Chain A
Amino acid sequence: MKNLDLIGKKIWKLDGEEGIQGQTRYGTDLSMSGMLYVKAYRARIPHGKLLRLDVSKAAALDGVSCVLTAKDIPGEKKFGFPAGADQPVLVEVGGTILMKGDALALVASPSLSVAEKALSLIEAEYEQYEAIDDYERVANDSSYFLKNECSGEYSYERGDLSKGQAEADVILEGSYEVPIQEHAYMETESGLSYYDSKGILTVESGTHDAFYVRYEVARCLGIDEIKVRSIVPLVGGTYGGKQQCSTQLHIALVTQKTGLPAKMVWSRRESMLVSHKRHPAKIHMRMGATKDGAITFLESNYVMDGGPYSTCSSGVCYWMGTHSAGPYNIPNVSINGKAVYTNNTVGAAFRGFGGPQGVFPLERHMDKMARELNMDAQQLRAKNYIREKDQPACNGVLIDTRVTVGEALEKAIEKLGPLPQPSTPHAKVGRGYAVAMPLHDVSSDPVWGMGGTGAHVEIFRDGSIEVRSGTCEFGSGLDTVQKLIISNEFGVPMERIHLITSDTYWTPKVGRCVGSKGAYASGQALLMASQELKERLATIAAVHFGTYPVIAPLVFANERIYTNQQKRDYMTLAEAADFAYRQGMNLAADSWYVNPNRLNGNAFCAMAADVEVDMLSYETKVLRCGYVHDAGTIINPLAAIGQAVGGVTQSIGYALTEKWVIEKGESKTLSFHDYTIPTSVDTPHIEVEFIEEPSTDGPYGAKGLSEHPSYVGAVAIVNAVSNALDTEFDVFPLTPDKLYTYLHG
């Protein structure tokens, strides 16, 4: 491990100060003179043929700069990642509408109100088809389908199920359902496009990957990628939801057509209607165990609803499968799942990426199995935990560090203290918990189009350092982590490091910043580049100290290079850099990091929660939570705790209040009034602890961090409510009406 002068200390978030003064610019805040506002006209039906589209009145309206339809798209008319481009940029006349809210036409005007007025003048005629909305039926009834294929499939087998069944004293079956969840980032999708002074079409927008946006824009516009620049400004939340193109292609088309800057900001309703969601899923699970609690087999079959477009359903479906057997060593396993096409909302990445959907049925089932065996649920888990070097029930995973899952659960429960008494005579309390082994995709696997991760580190003659990294910042504190790493490596204070991120003009290519790998992969790339540059500077120092060609392990600290730990003889970094410059040496180093291991299975987490249910109102309150997570070395504790608490709170909403209503492909919950997100009054006392078991290949031993609470949060709470009411809840969110119907039919 390196000298951790700064790593692990409480550091302010870097961009905090500007943000707190209201100065930082998000996509929604960008503007330019002469800018046009762009609005999309969207399909009013979930499924049908577009028979006629009349935009003539809109085009004739005073103040309208242009109205665009599918025939105005010079390049590819469909987009989408990574499975394939199957979502229309604009549906063409004669084409099929597959989702309510599909874009049909764009209007642009210097006046927002004129653009809105123009929308109301567009007329569309449809031939409406039946909405294919029952995803379970799609999976089982070959005569009922939207597309004659799946958007994702997963299959894993090991051992022999019949052997596992024969060995079991108890066999338990269960059916479960996990719901849709809306990301509900506070900043809706937005973007600004313009031609820069060199004639490059520039798009600034919130996304996980500036390079992906560049690729899609160039394809859609029918121009070379070198003619497109993509920049990611500050992003007002994403949690995985802003991975696909939203506004980008639409504004770029308008700029290409008019030559003018174009801006689009989705309304909240539009965002909720069109944006991607967490996939809902139905699961049927069978598990067998011996009397003393050894699990002999697990069989899980599931189906997920991916909506009409493929996006990353194949990945989410895969991820759900890989998490379906959790951190348990089960000899005989069969897991099969698929994601299907429907006319419902599009399922895509959301914090946990299918993992929470895999963990929910398993951790519910473990509780039920414990009851069946008359055994303590924690004990049953402990009996079956995986151990170091065991092979988990999924492919390509290494367990190469100490397994801390049991310790995590013990600590999480400890944090709660004794179960409190009900606060009123008509309340019931209960405790629940759950564990998980969230895998993370640190490899930047090219199969998924993620590529490797680059970094560029350059020292200037005055000893200040410029860093270029393609990784985006959207609230998880990655900018701070990256600067911390450089500061720690070179012994240079944070204010003398300039970080340029996510601008295809300047920053090296990275894969998408997903899968909790931002700090992991970029951190490693930064360390590699730093190492190379430091070696060069060390050579200069060795010459200076007269020891060359012997380059002793020099110490970089206090903006100096010291001969040894005693820190007596030194050369300043600025002197070394200036000398190197005058010698004609390269003051910059570039790196390219690709992790050979596809997945790492060495992060573990556990959550325990106490809840109270009011039996008059059927409202559930989470009283307190303990969340414990082995995230390896913590680079920035302040940000790490923030990620944990934020993730737990999103899980509380997912478990209890966030009920997405969709009927026949028509979403009904398109506002925060109808879709209830936790607020300050719903937040319990949350205690977080990190177990810092270093990883073998993360920067300074760090592991992935931000998605993990989502794996265990909701199911721990549903387990707690089940315990409180002595009733098995196999669906959620447990809104008062759901509780009532569950209990009283």
Chain B
Amino acid sequence: MGEQYVLKVNGKEYALRTGGGQMLADVLRDELHLIGTKKGCCQGECGACTVILDGKAVNSCMIPVAKAVGADILTIEGLQTEDGLHPLQKAFIEEGAVQCGFCTPGMIMSAKALLDEEANPTSAQIQEALSGNICRCTGYVKIEKAVQKASEELRKEG
């Protein structure tokens, strides 16, 4: 049995034991059963596993879990509030930015990290922020539109 450690995910604390050298994506999926975080490559190249770690979008397949201890981790499952879907989630559906949906959670987390930093991003900023997330289905056009729409929505909400 490995050492005990605590992981803070979506505002909840989880006591876990290390299996040694595990990556954050695997712990989220296999131990916390937060399967919304996807794995498309495990090589840091597709962005499907994107989560927000202390405000920054990261590829959780490349983060040894030890590095995530003590950090605030946000996954797609933590985005929704009691009032319902996050404006990004709503916009993705309404704009038709989801096809197979496999890239969507990672895409939304990258977009969320951007909007947290830049409430009114330009098109170039959105493209740049999402450039680490591959979507093979949609062709990005609607994804960019959805992020724009969500940013408007969030600014309205203040």
How distant is A35 from chain B, measured CB to nearest CB, in Å? 11
A673 touches B43 (CB 8 A): yes
Which of B89, B103, B135 has the most chain A CB within a 10 Å cutoff? B135
With a cutoff of 8 Å between Cβ atoms, the chain A residues found around residue B56 in the complex are none
Q: Which A639-682 residues have a C-beta within 8 angstroms of B? A: 639, 641-643, 645-650, 671-673, 677-681
B96 touches A19 (CB 8 A): no
A12 interfacial contact with B, CB 8 Å: yes
B101 touches A15 (CB 8 A): yes
**Complex: chain A residue closest to B135, CB-CB:** A186
Mark the stretch among A62-70, A71-79, A232-240 that contacts chain B: A232-240
A110 interfacial contact with B, CB 8 Å: no
Q: Which A11-56 residues have a C-beta within 8 angstroms of B? A: 12-13, 15-17, 19-26, 28-29
A20 touches B99 (CB 8 A): no
How distant is A683 from chain B, measured CB to nearest CB, in Å? 4
Q: Which A170-207 residues have a C-beta within 8 angstroms of B? A: 183-188
**Complex: chain A residue closest to B144, CB-CB:** A680
Question: B34, B40, B89, B94: which contacts A188 (Cβ < 8 A)?
Answer: B40
Question: A236, A476, A477, A641: which contacts B102 (Cβ < 8 A)?
Answer: A236
A28 touches B38 (CB 8 A): yes
With a cutoff of 8 Å between Cβ atoms, the chain B residues found around residue A638 in the complex are 96
B136 interfacial contact with A, CB 8 Å: yes
A475 interfacial contact with B, CB 8 Å: yes
B89 touches A20 (CB 8 A): yes
A476 touches B99 (CB 8 A): yes
**Complex: chain A residue closest to B19, CB-CB:** A113
A672 touches B101 (CB 8 A): no
**Complex: chain B residue closest to A10, CB-CB:** B96
A649 touching B139 in the complex, CB below 8 Å, given contacts A13-B96, A28-B39? yes
A738 interfacial contact with B, CB 8 Å: no
B40 touches A186 (CB 8 A): yes
How distant is A161 from chain B, measured CB to nearest CB, in Å? 41
CA distance A330 to B17 in the complex (A): 72
B100 touches A235 (CB 8 A): yes
**Complex: chain B residue closest to A236, CB-CB:** B102
CA distance A113 to B30 in the complex (A): 13
Mark the stretch among B1-9, B64-72, B74-82 that contacts chain A: B74-82
CA distance A648 to B139 in the complex (A): 7
**Complex: chain A residue closest to B80, CB-CB:** A21
B93 touches A186 (CB 8 A): no
CA distance A430 to B103 in the complex (A): 33
A237 touching B41 in the complex, CB below 8 Å, given contacts A17-B85, A22-B36? no
**Complex: chain B residue closest to A24, CB-CB:** B101
B24 interfacial contact with A, CB 8 Å: no
Q: Which A249-267 residues have a C-beta within 8 angstroms of B? A: 267
A135 interfacial contact with B, CB 8 Å: no
CA distance A268 to B38 in the complex (A): 13
**Complex: chain A residue closest to B20, CB-CB:** A113
Question: A16, A186, A680: which contacts B136 (Cβ < 8 A)?
Answer: A186
Contact with A along B37-72 (1 / 0, CB 8 A): 111111101101000000000000000000000000
With a cutoff of 8 Å between Cβ atoms, the chain B residues found around residue A475 in the complex are 99-101, 137
Provide the main secondary structure of the chain A interface: loop
CA distance A311 to B142 in the complex (A): 35
B85 touches A20 (CB 8 A): yes
A645 touching B98 in the complex, CB below 8 Å, given contacts A22-B75, A672-B46? no
How distant is A133 from chain B, measured CB to nearest CB, in Å? 27
CA distance A685 to B140 in the complex (A): 10
B127 interfacial contact with A, CB 8 Å: yes
Question: A186, A646, A648: which contacts B134 (Cβ < 8 A)?
Answer: A186
With a cutoff of 8 Å between Cβ atoms, the chain A residues found around residue B134 in the complex are 184, 186, 672, 677, 679
**Complex: chain B residue closest to A14, CB-CB:** B93
A360 interfacial contact with B, CB 8 Å: no
Which of A19, A113, A475, A685 has the most chain B CB within a 10 Å cutoff? A19
A22 touches B105 (CB 8 A): yes
B102 touches A645 (CB 8 A): no
CA distance A642 to B130 in the complex (A): 18
Question: B37, B100, B105: which contacts A187 (Cβ < 8 A)?
Answer: B100
Question: B34, B77, B103: which contacts A186 (Cβ < 8 A)?
Answer: B103
How distant is A620 from chain B, measured CB to nearest CB, in Å? 17
A20 touches B102 (CB 8 A): no
B15 interfacial contact with A, CB 8 Å: no
With a cutoff of 8 Å between Cβ atoms, the chain B residues found around residue A683 in the complex are 127, 139-141, 144
With a cutoff of 8 Å between Cβ atoms, the chain B residues found around residue A645 in the complex are 138-139, 141-142
A239 touches B144 (CB 8 A): no
Question: A22, A235, A680: which contacts B140 (Cβ < 8 A)?
Answer: A680
With a cutoff of 8 Å between Cβ atoms, the chain B residues found around residue A649 in the complex are 138-140
B100 touches A186 (CB 8 A): yes
A681 touches B42 (CB 8 A): no
How distant is A729 from chain B, measured CB to nearest CB, in Å? 23
How distant is A157 from chain B, measured CB to nearest CB, in Å? 39
CA distance A412 to B85 in the complex (A): 37
CA distance A680 to B35 in the complex (A): 25
With a cutoff of 8 Å between Cβ atoms, the chain A residues found around residue B42 in the complex are 267-268
Question: A12, A28, A183, A186: which contacts B46 (Cβ < 8 A)?
Answer: A186
Contact with A along B93-118 (1 / 0, CB 8 A): 11010111111110010000000000
With a cutoff of 8 Å between Cβ atoms, the chain A residues found around residue B41 in the complex are 268, 671-672
With a cutoff of 8 Å between Cβ atoms, the chain B residues found around residue A500 in the complex are none
How distant is B155 from chain A, measured CB to nearest CB, in Å? 21
Which of B98, B103, B131 has the most chain A CB within a 10 Å cutoff? B98
Q: Which B12-32 residues have a C-beta within 8 angstroms of A? A: 19, 29
Question: A13, A15, A25, A268: which contacts B43 (Cβ < 8 A)?
Answer: A268
With a cutoff of 8 Å between Cβ atoms, the chain A residues found around residue B29 in the complex are 29
Question: B19, B77, B130, B137: which contacts A646 (Cβ < 8 A)?
Answer: B137
B153 interfacial contact with A, CB 8 Å: no
A302 interfacial contact with B, CB 8 Å: no
B133 interfacial contact with A, CB 8 Å: yes
Question: A19, A647, A672: which contacts B104 (Cβ < 8 A)?
Answer: A19
A679 touches B43 (CB 8 A): no
CA distance A375 to B129 in the complex (A): 45
A21 touches B85 (CB 8 A): yes
B99 touches A477 (CB 8 A): yes
How distant is B15 from chain A, measured CB to nearest CB, in Å? 21
**Complex: chain A residue closest to B107, CB-CB:** A680
User: What are some 25 contacts across the A-B interface (CB < 8 A)?
Assistant: A16-B92, A17-B93, A20-B85, A22-B105, A26-B102, A185-B100, A187-B102, A236-B38, A236-B102, A237-B137, A268-B41, A475-B99, A645-B138, A646-B99, A646-B138, A650-B136, A672-B45, A673-B45, A678-B140, A679-B132, A680-B128, A681-B127, A681-B128, A683-B139, A686-B141
Interface residues of B (CB under 8 A from A): 19, 29, 34-43, 45-46, 48, 75-77, 79-80, 85, 89, 92-94, 96, 98-105, 108, 126-128, 130-144
Q: Assuming A13-B98, A239-B136, A680-B126, what are 12 further A-B pairs, CB within 8 angstroms?
A: A17-B93, A20-B85, A22-B37, A22-B77, A186-B40, A237-B136, A237-B137, A268-B42, A642-B138, A646-B139, A680-B144, A686-B139
